Amino acid sequence: MLYVIAYILSLLPFRILFAVSDVLAWLACDVVRYRRSAVRGNLESSFPEKSCEEIRKIEKRFYRFLCDYFMETLKLASMSEKKMRRHLKVENIEEINDAVEKGQSVTLYLGHYCNWEWVSSLPLHISSAARCAQIYHPLENKAFDRLLYKLRTRFDANNIPMSEIMQRLVRWKKEGVPTVTGYIADQAPGLNIHLFLDFLNHETGVYTGPERISKFLGAKAVYAHMSRPKRGYYTLRFIPVSGNVKKDKMFETSREYFRLLEENIREAPQYWLWSHRRWKRPRSMFNAFHGDKAEEMLSHL
């Protein structure tokens, strides 16, 4: 039923969905004040050089984009292949296809930036020689989990729970099938952290799992750079991170990914997920939790 409702709503033209989005953005920002303290705090600490007026402008634009994001994601339920290709322009896809045609797997690094849900349409552009997959965390609400699963697999991407990713990739590797796997790697990890780095003016603990998996696969790594030329339209281009992660020094790929992500965010800050409490586990918490073992866990750096 939830999917049927989403499908019916998705049939509405973008102009109507965006009109609803404008109302929701006003409600979220000025009435309900949805996570507003977290949004403002994240912006102020990430951009100390910006004035209060500049921070407020980014904040309002963020809420408008966040509501647009929900409407655009809803639109996935009924968007045709032709319309998706028109609204998401994919450049230099040869960066991916050249690798998979040679039998090499590709790690696609993404962030919570622009509409990352639309990247699930990449199978429309990628060689049939590859298996396309994306990693996700199942939601506690089973109905919404099934809804998102349907939306994310509309264009034949494999939606794989994080707990099953290694099992699936190992199987495909044994079968000789190259994979193109997307990782949204800018989430806040738990306290079993192996790497801290500088990101948006914060000492930031980061996930290193995507790099470790890439080393196992001997994968090529690329960053999915997204921009939003106008409302409802995106451009995606691929920036090389590593030709073969297996040959790189440990965590070199992760550092380069976060450098590219920060550059992307600074181009248009309103399109990153500022409502997420990204820095809720600082280095001080990591040190307090692990005590004398903290330095040992980071001793490989």
Predicted confidence (pLDDT) per residue in 265-290, tens digit: 999 999 999 999 999 999 999 999 88
Rounded to 5 degrees, what angle do the CA atoms 27, 119, 37 make? Answer: 30
The token pair at 176 is 């000789």
pLDDT at 144: 86
| Position with higher pLDDT, 297 vs 246 | 246
In angstroms, how far is the first alpha carbon of the chain from the final one? 51
- 132 burial via Cβ count (<10 Å: 0-12, 13-18, 19+): buried
Tokens 């989990």 map to which residue? 145
pLDDT per residue as tens digits for the range 199-242: 999 999 999 999 999 999 999 999 999 999 999 999 999 999 99
What are the tens digits of pLDDT across the range 83-101?
A: 999 999 999 999 999 999 9
Which secondary structure element, helix H or strand E, spans residue 214, and what is its range?
Answer: helix 209-217
**Are 222 and 106 in contact, with CB atoms under 8 Å apart?**
yes
What rounded mean pLDDT belongs to the chain?
A: 94
Percent of the residues in the chain that have a pLDDT greater than 70, as a whole number = 99
Per-residue exposure over 96-110, b if at least 16 CB sit within 10 Å of its own CB, e if not: bbebbeeebbbbbbb
* CB of 206 closer than 8 Å to CB of 194: no
Instruction: Please state the rounded mean pLDDT for residues 134-141.
Output: 86
Alpha-carbon radius of gyration of the chain: 20
pTM, two decimal places: 0.94
- Backbone angle region of 176, left / alpha / beta, with phi > 0 → left and psi within -120 to 50 → alpha: left
Task: Please determine, for residue 301, whether its predicted confidence score (pLDDT) is greater than 70.
Answer: no
Could you tell me if 232 and 131 are in contact, meaning their C-beta atoms sit under 8 angstroms apart?
no
Q: What pLDDT sits at residue 192?
A: 85
- On the question of pLDDT at 2 being above 90, the answer is no
- pLDDT of residue 300 exceeding 90, the answer is no
Helix/strand number for the chain, H first, E second:
12, 9
Residue in this structure with the two tokens 């696969």, named with its chain if needed: 217
Question: Does residue 299 have a pLDDT over 70?
Answer: no
